[in-house]
Structure 1
Amino acid sequence: MVFKRLLGALGVGGPSVDTVLDSDAALPGGALTGRVLVRGGGASVEVERVGLELLARVEAEHAEGESEGTVVFERFPVGGGFRLGEQEVRELPFSVPLPWETPVTELHGRPLGIVLGVRTEVAVAGARDSGDLDPLAVRPLPVQEAVLEALGRLGFGFRSADLEYGRIGGTGQRLPFYQEIELTPPPRYAHAVNEIELTFLASPTGVEIVLEADKRSGLLSPGHDALTRFTVRHEDAPALDWHAEVSGWIHRLTEHRDAYDSHAAYGHDGTPGAGHGFGPPSGPGVGTAVAMGAAGLAAGVVGGMVAAEAVDEIGDYFEDQGDDQDDDQDDEGWDDEG
């Protein structure tokens, strides 16, 4: 049993803490489970509170340029109100719900470059310390995975993924930031768009998919952004013809001229609104489609678009942020980069 960090703010010889997550990757809206291990130091202490914080590395755009910072987007109590004896080890199991809009950090086990962490905070005798921080991996929901796989089969390539501070108007967004997955178009769409940005906004009932295209300028028209939205219920994911559906979405996005397209929704029977019906899918079965989706999107990560050390060093990165962050700062700590 290795305790990762002493609670330095609580004094030399004070308690130490380690948080152990039960699984390698969680699901948006699912349970994050594990246990917090607190070990007493050289004297007995009263532990007032033990809690968890979910953190994200987020980008923000402003008049002076761009900045990056750490945002706390959820907090959970784990325990407290007990006396911890000298060298005593106390185990506090937890099961907490992740927000439905928690960003996806990986596809088929391959990292997308999104930085999330779980930080443990312990309060003893009026002092508090963020004593342990662990990387948080999140895999996609079935709807999210199906969309990404379909895009991979259509030839779209992964360019990058990040978290943007702000809100998308006209959506049901709840977190103060949203995830953007940037995709490069295949040759059949390259004449129309430079790139496509994909955002998932999940909820207990389904997933809102926001697609934005950076459209190329034409002979008689300047380049502009086009945006369209769709909503798919969780229970409809297995029944949809994803190749045809996503093909229809991309066709609508690249063809229409409005800043906002209509908001197509899917009912209990999985019947789509306008834009459906681009013919039956062709090609391999479901098993191969999964592999092709991984090859189309996740292979871009392996190709060097995301540095492997970004995931390996997440613990050190967040610990540095925690050391520099004021204890009284509740929500964010931006590091200006221009």
Structure 2
Amino acid sequence: MSLFNKVLASVGIGSAKVDTKLHKSSYTLNENVTGIVEITGGSTEQQIDAIYLSLYTNFIREIDDKKINDQAILSQFQLNEPFIIQANEKHEIPFSFPLPSVVPITIGKSRVWIQTGLDIKNAVDPKDKDFIDIQPSPLANSVLTAIQNMGFRLRKVDNEQAPSYLRRQTPIVQEFEFTPTNQTYRRYLDELELVFLGHSQNSVEILLQVDRRARGLGGFLSEAFDMDESFIRLTLFENDNLSAKLSHAIEAKMK
């Protein structure tokens, strides 16, 4: 009977199960995710080679002008050394890990989840999936609010594959796309795009893409070759006058 149970467990029937229990489901950037991984033994003893937690998000990949929905691992952690779990035994492992600075805010179609996996030799690896909400840090929220108060409307938010020069830092970027609503900006700009590159306790690093409105034949040619897009890299601090610093940087690219 024991041999039969082992055969069943090897194909996932009566195998060990995993359940991740988070202490909460909503987090702010710079927080640690904490919880307990609960492993319940199946119908026979099994060796657990590893327990790993993977932080995932969804994003859009563009291939040959087609947009494809994909998913990316933002970070991954191994929790334990190999151990034996007996039939019907319960084993709990507490965990805590920091959210990476590139984790996207769960706004629009953006999703973030933790996938827990057991690595069991010669068996189907059990998995568990838990979605979490990611809220902007107070400073990131202030940056987004300042841009809207300056005369921009948030049009859409997408997770996209990171451009080649950023892929060493992150597989994806979250792009906030704004359109101008006041006359000053509408006269010169088509849109403004923002990406958060990094967060600390009292600062954020952002990348702004200023898309200037084409003017005349020269403007049309610039737009055709993507030369109308200008980039601004800024570090913003808690005590900054955000609206003044942002507007100064944007208006310098409008000239």
TM-score band w.r.t. shorter chain: 0.7 to 0.9
In 2, Cα distance between the equivalents of 1:9 and 1:198? 49
Q: How does 1:142-161 map to 2 (within 5 A)?
A: 142-161=138-157
Aligned to 1:196: 192
Matched length? 238
* AA at the equivalent of 1:217: A
Shift of 1:113: 2.3
Deviations 1:154-208 (A, max 9, x none): 2322222122213364x79611221111112213322222221110011558422
How far residue 128 of structure 1 moved from its aligned partner, in angstroms, is 5.0
CA distance in 2, matches of 1:219, 1:125: 67
Q: Which residue is equivalent to 2:229?
A: 225
Structure holding more strand per residue:
2
**Higher mean Cα deviation, 193-202 or 66-75?**
66-75
The structure with the larger Rg is 2
Change (3 A) 1:131 1:20: same
Q: Indicate if the aligned counterparts of 1:113 and 1:160 stay in contact, CA closer than 8 A.
A: no
Which residue of structure 1 lines up, in the alignment, with residue 4 of structure 2? none
Tell me, which stretches of 5 or more residues in structure 2 are unaligned? 1-8
Q: Does 1:182 align with 2:186?
A: no
State which of 192, 203, 207 in structure 1 corresponds to 2:204.
207
1:172/1:201 contact within 8 Å kept: no
SS in 2 for 1:127: coil
- For the structure 1 residues 131 and 52, does the alpha-carbon distance in structure 2 shift closer, same or farther, using more than 3 Å as the test? same
Structure 1: runs of 5+ lacking an equivalent: 1-7, 106-110, 257-338
Equivalent positions of 1:1-338 (< 5 A) are 10-105=11-106, 111-127=107-123, 129-167=125-163, 169=165, 174-188=169-183, 189-202=185-198, 204=200, 206-220=203-217, 221-222=219-220, 223=223, 224-232=228-236, 236-237=237-238, 239-253=239-253, 255-256=254-255
In 2, are the aligned partners of 1:57 and 1:69 still within 8 Å (CA)?
yes
Distance 1:99 1:142, change over 3 A: same
Instruction: Tell whether the 8 Å contact from 1:31 to 1:97 is kept in structure 2 after alignment.
Output: yes
Displacement after TM superposition at 1:77 (Å): 0.9
Q: In the aligned structure 1, how far is the partner of 2:108 from the partner of 2:68?
A: 20
> CA separation in 2, counterparts of 1:218 and 1:143?
35
Q: Could you tell me how far apart the structure 1 residues matched to 2:126 and 2:64 are? A: 33
Tell me: CA distance 1:172–1:247, structure 2 relative to 1, closer, same or farther (3 Å). farther
Query: Structure 1 vs Structure 2: percent identity of aligned residues?
Result: 27
Following the alignment from structure 1 to structure 2, what is the Cα–Cα distance between the partners of residues 11 and 130? 8
Could you tell me whether the CA contact under 8 Å between 2:10 and 2:122 is conserved in 1?
A: no
1:264 maps to none
Shift of 1:29: 4.0
> Secondary structure of the equivalent of 2:67?
strand
- After superposition, the Cα gap between the structure-2 partners of 1:51 and 1:9, relative to the gap in structure 1 and judged at 3 Å, is farther
Q: Which amino acid aligns with 1:201?
A: L
Secondary structure (helix, strand or coil) at the match of 2:105 reads coil
After superposition, the CA RMSD in angstroms is 2.5
1:2-26 deviation per Cα after TM superposition (whole angstroms, max 9, x unaligned): xxxxxx9752111222112222322
Q: For 1:211 and 1:47, how far apart are their aligned partners in 2?
A: 46
Normalised TM-score (structure 1): 0.64
**What amino acid does structure 2 have at the position aligned with 1:70?**
Q
TM-score (normalizing by structure 2): 0.82
Give the distance between the partners of 1:104 and 1:130, measured in 2 at CA.
28
